C-alpha cells in the first residue's frame, strides 16, 4: 500500500467526500444491498453471543464501540440489544445525526457519538467489552490500521474482544477508486492484525482476548465461510472450542461454514 501511503491525504479526503454523498439510510449504508441486513445481523449475533456472559473468562456486556457506525444499523439491531451502553464513531456527521432518530428509544443508551476517522480516534482506555469494526478497515492505510488496533487493545476491559468483520480479496490488495478504499487478502489482514496484538499481549496484565471475524467473499457478492482468528491469553483460552481448529502458539484458527448468508454488498457502511 505504498502508493496509498504516499497519497494519504487524498485517500482519506476522497473517502469522506464519497460518504457525504451517500443517503443516510440502511440501503445507503449497505451500498444498495439493504435486503441483506437481517442476514448479516443474525450471523453476527450468533457469533458474538458465544463469547458473552458472566462466567469465568467470558466477555462482559457493559459497553461496546461501533466503528464506522454510519446511521447505527449494527448498533440498533446487534449491539444495543446485547450491551448496556454503546458508543458510535463515524467520519460523517450527517450519519451520526440520523442515528439519533434512527435508534429510537434505545438510543438513550448511547454513551457517545464520536465524529472521527478511525485513523485519528483514540478510544477511552479500559472502557469497552467489545469493539466492533465492520466493513471499514479498507478505509485505513496499513500503518494506520496497525496503530488503530494498538489503541483499541488499550481500550478493552478484561476479556474484551476486538471483532473485525470485513471482505477479503483472493490475492493482494484491490483498490476501490469509487469510495477510496482497499480490499486486502487474508494473509495481509492476518499480518496486520496479529502484529500489534502479539506485541501488546506480552506486556498485557491479565487475560485479553482478541477476535477477528473475517468474511471470505466470492467476487464481493456471495459469502462462503467465516474465519475466526483469535489470539487468547490466560483463562480466556477456554472460550474458543469450535472446530476444526489449527493451533500455533497462542493463536487458534477455526473455520465455521456460513449456511444462511448468501449475499454481501461490495461497498457499504454499518
Task: Compute the mean pLDDT over every residue in the chain, rounded to the nearest whole number.
Answer: 76
* Terminal Cα-to-Cα distance of the chain (whole angstroms): 24
Could you tell me if residue 265 is inside a domain? no
pLDDT surpassing 50 at residue 46: yes
Summarize pLDDT for 83-124 with one digit per residue, the tens. Answer: 999 999 999 999 999 999 999 999 999 999 999 999 999 999
Higher pLDDT among residues 221 and 55, named by residue: 55
pLDDT surpassing 60 at residue 226: no
| CATH code of 46's domain | 3.40.50.150
Q: Which residues contact 147 (CB under 8 A, 6 or more apart)?
A: 119, 196
CA-to-CA distance for 243 and 226, rounded, in angstroms?
Answer: 12
Structural domain boundaries enclosing 85: 2-257
DSSP-derived pairing of the beta strands 167-168 and 210-218: parallel
- Winning range, highest mean pLDDT, from 30-34, 38-42, 74-78, 231-235: 74-78
Could you tell me if residue 77 is inside a domain? yes
- Winning range, highest mean pLDDT, from 160-169, 190-199, 245-254: 160-169
- pLDDT for 5 equals 57
pLDDT surpassing 50 at residue 246: no
Could you tell me if residue 270 is inside a domain? no
Between the CA of residue 63 and those of 129, 132, 213, 267, what are the distances in Å?
6, 11, 19, 27
pLDDT surpassing 50 at residue 179: yes
- pLDDT for 255 equals 27
Confidence label for 55 from pLDDT (cuts 50, 70 and 90):
confident
**Beta-ladder partners of 133:** 67, 164
Three-class DSSP category at 167: strand
Summarize pLDDT for 128-137 with one digit per residue, the tens. Answer: 999 999 999 9
| DSSP label at residue 109 | G
**Beta-ladder partners of 253:** 229, 246
Could you tell me if residue 132 is inside a domain? yes
- pLDDT for 268 equals 55
Q: Where are the beta strands (DSSP E) in the chain?
A: 63-67, 85-90, 110-115, 128-134, 156-165, 167-168, 173-176, 181-184, 210-218, 222-231, 245-248, 251-257
Could you tell me if residue 269 is inside a domain? no
Q: State the DSSP H helix or E strand holding residue 40, giving kind and residue range, or none if neither.
A: helix 37-49
Percent of the chain predicted with pLDDT > 90? 46
Could you tell me if residue 262 is inside a domain? no
Could you tell me if residue 156 is inside a domain? yes
pLDDT surpassing 50 at residue 224: no
CA-to-CA distance for 224 and 241, rounded, in angstroms?
Answer: 21
Between the CA of residue 214 and those of 98, 165, 192, 261, what are the distances in Å?
28, 5, 13, 13
- pLDDT for 4 equals 62
Could you tell me if residue 52 is inside a domain? yes
Cα maximum dimension of the chain = 47
Domain total for the chain? 1
The verdict on pTM exceeding 0.85 is: no
Amino acid at each position: 500500500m505504498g502508493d496509498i501511503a504516499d497519497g494519504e491525504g487524498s485517500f482519506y479526503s476522497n473517502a469522506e467526500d464519497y460518504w457525504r454523498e451517500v443517503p443516510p439510510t440502511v440501503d445507503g449504508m449497505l451500498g444498495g444491498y439493504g435486503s441483506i441486513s437481517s442476514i448479516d445481523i443474525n450471523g453476527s449475533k450468533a457469533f458474538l453471543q458465544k463469547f458473552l456472559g458472566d462466567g469465568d473468562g467470558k466477555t462482559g456486556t457493559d459497553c461496546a464501540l461501533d466503528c464506522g457506525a454510519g446511521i447505527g444499523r449494527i448498533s440498533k439491531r446487534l449491539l444495543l440489544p446485547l450491551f448496556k451502553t454503546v458508543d458510535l464513531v463515524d467520519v460523517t456527521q450527517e450519519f451520526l445525526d440520523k442515528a439519533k432518530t434512527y435508534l429510537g428509544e434505545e438510543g438513550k443508551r448511547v454513551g457517545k457519538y464520536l465524529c472521527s476517522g478511525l485513523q485519528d480516534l483514540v478510544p477511552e482506555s479500559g472502557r469497552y467489552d467489545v469493539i466492533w469494526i465492520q466493513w471499514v478497515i479498507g478505509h485505513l492505510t496499513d500503518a494506520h490500521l496497525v496503530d488503530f488496533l494498538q489503541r483499541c487493545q488499550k481500550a478493552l476491559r478484561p476479556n474484551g474482544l476486538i471483532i473485525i468483520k470485513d471482505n477479503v480479496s483472493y490475492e493482494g490488495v484491490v483498490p476501490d477508486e469509487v469510495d477510496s478504499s482497499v480490499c486486502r487478502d487474508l494473509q495481509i489482514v492476518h499480518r496486520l492484525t496479529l502484529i500489534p496484538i502479539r506485541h501488546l499481549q506480552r506486556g498485557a496484565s491479565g487475560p485479553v482476548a482478541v477476535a477477528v471475524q473475517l468474511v471470505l467473499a466470492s467476487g464481493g457478492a456471495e459469502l462462503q465461510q467465516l474465519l475466526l482468528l483469535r489470539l487468547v491469553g490466560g483463562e480466556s483460552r477456554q472460550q474458543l472450542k469450535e472446530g476444526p481448529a489449527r493451533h500455533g502458539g497462542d493463536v487458534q484458527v477455526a473455520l465455521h461454514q456460513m449456511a444462511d448468508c448468501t449475499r454481501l454488498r461490495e461497498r457499504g457502511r454499518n
